[in-house]
Amino acid sequence: MNPNKLTADNSENYKVSIRLIPDGLSFWGYIPAVKDSFFIETFSFDHDISSLESIKNIFFTHPCFSYVFQSFDVISVSGKYTLASDHVFIEKEKERLFFFCHPKDNSLKVLVQPIMALNASILFGIDQEIYAFLLRSLINPRFIYSLSSLLVAWQKKSLLVFPKLMHVVLNKNTIDVFCVEHGVLLFVNSYNFDSSNDIVYYLMYICKQIGFNQLDDYLTISGKKDFCTDILRIINRYIKQTVYLQSTLKDYHVALDQELTLDMIALIECGV
């Protein structure tokens, strides 16, 4: 952590987040409207111990996690989520609905994040022990799912354009796909993949399901640049309007070696 940026004396000015991925976490934050305030630090988990023990070691080594902040988000990137319409969703039925869509796993705690812009809620799973530790260790944390900020950002963007907008988040061995049209969410789902052929198959199926025009509608993709570029060459044979989205922050200075994700940027811009 850069001691010239984040200290116990100025921490209450910062909005910070922990982004949890299966093999590590990133801790990042900024002071709103202060360009040189942005910081990000990435930690890999020790594969010889559990994820929980790795997180505990990171916290004990870096006392800044116990500072008081303006806000503190914990972002889950578990891959296990379900979107439920507010018209039919009942809070007390969250476990039943979530495990109807995913295999039963007693180690998971099911959390709910309302998304008012979509009149829906995201149900997502997080390891119960990790959740309990973070709840004890952090001051007023808010637990959210990584896709939520992207869904809101694309919903707003779709109000300004005529074609359908499909976005693909390319992860290590999964993809998240959603599509919006004029502010309406048409589709959202996640898939496991073993090869680029799997990705093409899923996208062609989605195009057929939602009436996506492969000549005129737009597909964007985010993730590791080299991987995305290779996949885009293949997708472009089937969908003509395709773009790789670089993860860059307009209003904050970010070092060239600091790797951002598109959901982080969307969270800063949308505040979901």
Q: From first to last of its 272 residues, what are the pLDDT tens digits of the chain? A: 454 578 899 999 999 999 999 899 999 999 998 888 889 999 999 999 999 999 999 999 999 999 999 999 999 998 789 999 988 899 999 999 999 999 999 999 999 999 998 999 999 999 999 999 999 999 999 999 999 999 999 999 899 888 999 999 998 888 999 999 999 999 999 999 999 999 999 999 999 999 999 999 999 999 888 888 889 999 999 999 999 988 777 767 776 556 788 899 899 888 76
Pick the CATH number of 150-244 from 3.30.1490.190, 3.10.20.30, 1.10.10.10, 3.30.420.260: 3.30.420.260
Q: Tell me how far apart the alpha carbons of residues 135 and 129 are, in angstroms, rounded to a whole number.
A: 10
Domain positions in the chain: 150-244
Q: Tell me how far apart the alpha carbons of residues 28 and 64 are, in angstroms, rounded to a whole number.
A: 12
Using DSSP bridges, classify how beta strands 81-85 and 120-127 pair: parallel, antiparallel or unpaired. Answer: antiparallel
Q: Tell me how far apart the alpha carbons of residues 146 and 144 are, in angstroms, rounded to a whole number.
A: 7
Which helix (H) or strand (E) is 9 found in, with range?
Answer: none
